[in-house]
Structure 1
Amino acid sequence: MNISQKKKLLIVDDSAFMRKLIGDFFIDNEKIEVVGIARNGRDAIEKIKLLQPNVVIMDIEMPIMNGLDALKQIMKETPVAVVMLSSMTKKSSESTLLAMEYGAVDFIAKPSGAISLDLHKIKSELVEKVENAATIKISMMERPVVESLTNFVGSVVINSKTETVTRVMPKVASWNKFKKKMILIGTSTGGPRALQEVITKLPKDIKAPILIVQHMPAGFTKSLAQRLDQLSEISVKEAETGDILRDGQAYIAPGGYHMRLTKTGSIYSILLDDVEPPRAGHRPAVDVLFEDNSQYNDFDKIVVIMTGMGSDGAIGLHKLKAKGNVVAIAESAKTCIVYGMPKAAVETNLVNNIVDVDQIGKMIIQYLP
């Protein structure tokens, strides 16, 4: 790739060592060119105006102005795709989730604190996330409101333009609203914001347990669960082995563990698994949740696949549909930060509804008593 075609990266960190180490990761990169560095949030705001980067990688904890305060100002004045760097601490994990709400595209967890001498351990993940963030249109962070494409064939008005929808989505056969239900949700990049959009719209008396896989490292899923629990009518917790499934309770798979079920008599409970290797780099993986769940048919399942890179969930969706009564909902390309996982699900031709993220909660409720 010609250097003029490369996406421009600004590196923001108060540590000269970290700036140098991250910059070295991109020396021979064919997609990304490092165009500058900044030492704190205030410096970053000025450098973004001057250099107009396509993507910024920014530390959260910095002097003068921290990354969180800088992000709020950046997204207000000069919106750009931002990937946050976070330490593996409770305070940093909470700040990271706030950064996702404020508009950050993604985050990287430093393996060993503010100055991680072993940052090379996550080099491939860091480079991949920066490359992907550089391709995201910043307008996607604004969550445009458009018409939903639900079991529809024909013309639809989208942003004042008429477009033809040619995909025929399968109808839901023999759906009994009064049979026991379970909700399964899978998401990745952009997922914390999408989950907040969906989970906060579910009523406290919802007649189903909710199992969630969000691609996140250990330490961050607990903060995500606590944040959603504070904002929602339903209860949300980080899943633990032995948790009994209850209606109106959401369980988020902890980072580093696949989430499975076990059945004793008529009681279902959660079993966490750190033995099976990651699937396509992910543990927890959506496919593992779906595949494991396919063996239990006491529940009809409502499956939701939202924004994220890759195709996690598509294989598991095949198994769920083959073995039980399942309705599948995918987030539309119009509101996805990354239209990867939902796209892969839609391409299976097993998705029943494609809707914008702000309509997913309402769609779930339509399938419940």
Structure 2
Amino acid sequence: MKVFRLILFVLHLGILFLLLGTLLNAYVPPKVFPWFNLLSLGFPVLMISYIILTIFWVFSWKKRAFVFMFAGLAFINPVKRWVNYSSPKNGDSEIKLVSFNTRAGGRGNKEIAPYLRSQDADIFLLQEDAGKDYQFDGYQKANSGGGLTILTKHKIIKQQIIDPQDENVRIPGLQVDIEIKGKIYRFIDVYLNPFRFEKDMVKLNGNTDTNEQKIKDVVKRLIPTFKKHQEQVALIREVIDHSPYPVILAGDFNSVPNSYEYYHLSDGLEDAFLTAGKGSATSFHDYKFPIRIDYVFSSKSVKAISYKVDRSVSISDHYPVIVKFSAESK
């Protein structure tokens, strides 16, 4: 029994250090050490394992349980980025925003346009969508030519592509300054480089050699993409930091919470899910694994009063994210 407990103790310590490694994404960029970003993908599994082992120590009446419980406090906010409960928010809705990756323009899916029209949102931020099929009365359109489209009921003051000037790095964002009820906001539609995985590439089977090769192939795709993300994040950060207006940043980041991308794009902004979300923030549903890669962030002067991942529709491999914001506070 002592040997078994020793093994569990060493395992628990190992999981703790791996979890701590995910926190280092706030400081260590992928081009320096990409493995911390890789760890962020396994955060849910690591966290669940950590909690189960902590419960085991509690029921074993071991003092080390208190040490692991205390250390676990460091992960409260990281856990809330995946699963959260916020109290109801007061305020009148001034901006209704829908962010939605339509999966290669819906691939001819005729349900997408009626769904968007039914939402009657002030702003639509679409990814993987050229916006060709959406001719909604009363809406203006901004398009990046790279799969990013913004539709709005309101006056567009300025629009600009966030161009990496590198043919190996896709256009990461579309910036549109929009006037709403006499106030100007900067909306940034984001789509970071995808990993281009197919289900068969990540589905393991009983063949050890095949599984080992699949894992190597996945890592070979992940790490170069993380490094491209670092370049894209730097470009988007420049647009955020130099904005004379409140910023609302949304889209498909192809990155999980606790990743380098999350920490650096959310810096100085509020995660609408943390402010007004309830339940799970999982937005990508093509794999049987909790994955949150769609986000809505805003300047602190713009408050989210509701946040919803609309799981009532499965017209893409992503669920739409719907957020309502109150009027800008002074």
TM-score normalised by length of structure 1? 0.30
State the TM-score, normalized to the length of structure 2: 0.33
More helix by percentage: 2
Q: Which has the higher contact order (CA 8 A, sep 6+)?
A: 2
